[in-house]
Amino acid sequence: MDRCWLLVIVSIGWIFGAIDASEGDADPLYRECIEQCEKKGSVGASSIQHCQFLSDGVLVDSPWYMQEPLYVQWKQCNCRSDCQYFCMMQQEKEREALGLKPVKYHGKWPFKRSSVLQEPVSAILSALTLVVQFNGWLSFFLLAYYKLPLRPHSGKTYYEFTCLWHIYGLLSMNAWFWGAIFHTRGFDLTEKLDYSSSVALLGFSLILAVLRTFNVKNEASRVMVAAPLLAFLTTHILYLNFYELDYGLNVKVCITMGIAQVLFWAVWAGITHHPSRFKIWAVVVGGAMAILLELYDFPPYKGYVDSHALWHATNIPLAYLWWSFVYEDAKFRTSTITKKSSFHSSFGLMSKKFL
């Protein structure tokens, strides 16, 4: 819920509309550059070491055991990705010399690499958000099991949504981990893992929004709510990974789930008397303002910082604020339940005295 999707309808379709074919990679000179690079292993004065390898990873005219190291495969520093990068940089130098503005390649602005990082600022900020998510989840875990009272007979927490928030925390950390990896090295595998983990997080967030805002405590009722949504999420993720990575369909699914959960939380915050309801409004408003950065899409400053990187920066305080609400919600619900339990216990003792 640290992302607001109310304005995504306007922005996200436009942002992803150019993924399949952008102005830069549609340029015949860029495509010719890549073809020549893959054949010759060089772009201008830059020599592409990995173009010495065939597509199966075996060095030309060398024994079978002469293969690319695993760490090179993980970084995907192969011939084609390096050719795309150096050809892109060459094209942008030529465009700059002609006084032309930067253009997108494969749906992305031309970023300068830093070591193994394709998009260094976005990758670092994603990693920082991951740290904030871990810190928020860990603080909630310590609160639930070591600071708040537990039920005397079962040893479970009084807070009815503890397990659900644990799952949310794990999915959040998983999503931001693969987001950081994708910004570090973007290729088919990391792209699918990033998209799949984001869809899983967004879908479970919707389930959690329904269960918490309607205060669903009965296990059977929870299953009835979650089962159809989980079935849909599983089908959608399998479709993206094993049939077709349909960007347009995925955007529509994410928009629908995002708007739905934001509406649930916003309406609930408007009618509830929860002491931390203002934090929910802060996340909703802050998320909406953050999405404006995506609307104002501009080329990376000095080749490193673009609007998407700034959007990543806003997710850090929003993630902290959201876990702060979860923390306070656990304390509030536990306090309410224990007070009711104490009252019923006292009332029961008084009734026995009069019998």
Alpha-carbon distance 1 to 322, whole Å?
A: 7
Tokens of 103: 């253009």
In the structure, how many helices (H) and strands (E) does the chain have?
11, 2
Q: Which of 4-13, 61-70, 82-91 has the highest mean pLDDT?
A: 82-91
Q: What pTM, to 2 d.p., does this model score?
A: 0.82
Instruction: Please list the alpha-helical segments (H only) found in 19-153.
Output: 28-40, 70-75, 79-97, 120-142
Q: Please write the tens of the pLDDT for every residue from 11-26.
A: 444 344 444 457 888 8
- Per the model's pLDDT, the better-predicted residue between 66 and 151 turns out to be 151
106 burial level (CB within 10 Å; 0-12, 13-18, 19+): middle
pLDDT of residue 286: 87
How wide is the angle at C-alpha 14 spanned by C-alphas 10 and 16, nearest 5°? Answer: 125
- Can you tell me the mean pLDDT for 97-120? 88
- Can you tell me the mean pLDDT for 316-327? 96
pLDDT of residue 216: 96
Domain ranges in the chain are 8-12+114-351, 23-97
Confidence band (pLDDT; 50, 70, 90) for 330? very high
Q: Which of 33-37, 108-112, 134-138, 304-308 has the highest mean pLDDT?
A: 134-138
Contacts of 72 (CB under 8 A, 6+ apart): 50, 78
pLDDT of residue 3: 47
Asked if the model's pLDDT at residue 70 lies above 80, the reply is no
Closest CA to 296 of 308, 286, 288: 308
Closest CA to 329 of 166, 160, 203: 160
CB 123 within 8 A of CB 117: yes
State whether the Cα torsion 321-325-326-328 is positive or negative. Answer: positive
Q: What is the DSSP letter of 16?
A: H
CB 167 within 8 A of CB 204: yes
38 burial level (CB within 10 Å; 0-12, 13-18, 19+): middle
172 burial level (CB within 10 Å; 0-12, 13-18, 19+): buried
Asked if the model's pLDDT at residue 59 lies above 50, the reply is no
SS3 breakdown of the chain: % helix, strand, coil, rounded to 5?
A: 70, 5, 25
Asked if the model's pLDDT at residue 288 lies above 90, the reply is no
Alpha-carbon distance 317 to 279, whole Å?
A: 12
How wide is the angle at C-alpha 83 spanned by C-alphas 190 and 195, nearest 5°? Answer: 15
CB 114 within 8 A of CB 120: yes
pLDDT of residue 137: 98
Arithmetic mean of pLDDT over the chain: 83
Tokens of 79: 């011939």
pLDDT of residue 207: 97
- Can you tell me the mean pLDDT for 249-255? 88
- Per the model's pLDDT, the better-predicted residue between 300 and 187 turns out to be 300
Give phi and psi for 160, each to the nearest 5.
Answer: -75, -10
CB 84 within 8 A of CB 34: yes
Structural element, H or E, at residue 42: strand 42-43
Q: What count of other Cβ atoms lies within 10 Å of the Cβ of residue 239?
A: 15
Confidence band (pLDDT; 50, 70, 90) for 74? very low
pLDDT of residue 209: 96
CATH classification code of 8-12+114-351: 1.20.1070
What are the Cα distances from residue 199, in Å, to 11, 100, 257, 273? 18, 37, 9, 31
Q: Please write the tens of the pLDDT for every residue from 137-196.
A: 999 999 999 999 999 888 899 999 999 999 999 999 999 999 999 999 877 888 899 999
Q: Please write the tens of the pLDDT for every residue from 233-242.
A: 999 999 999 9
Least reliable range by pLDDT among 44-58, 94-108, 143-157, 177-191: 44-58
- Can you tell me the mean pLDDT for 275-283? 94
- Per the model's pLDDT, the better-predicted residue between 240 and 355 turns out to be 240
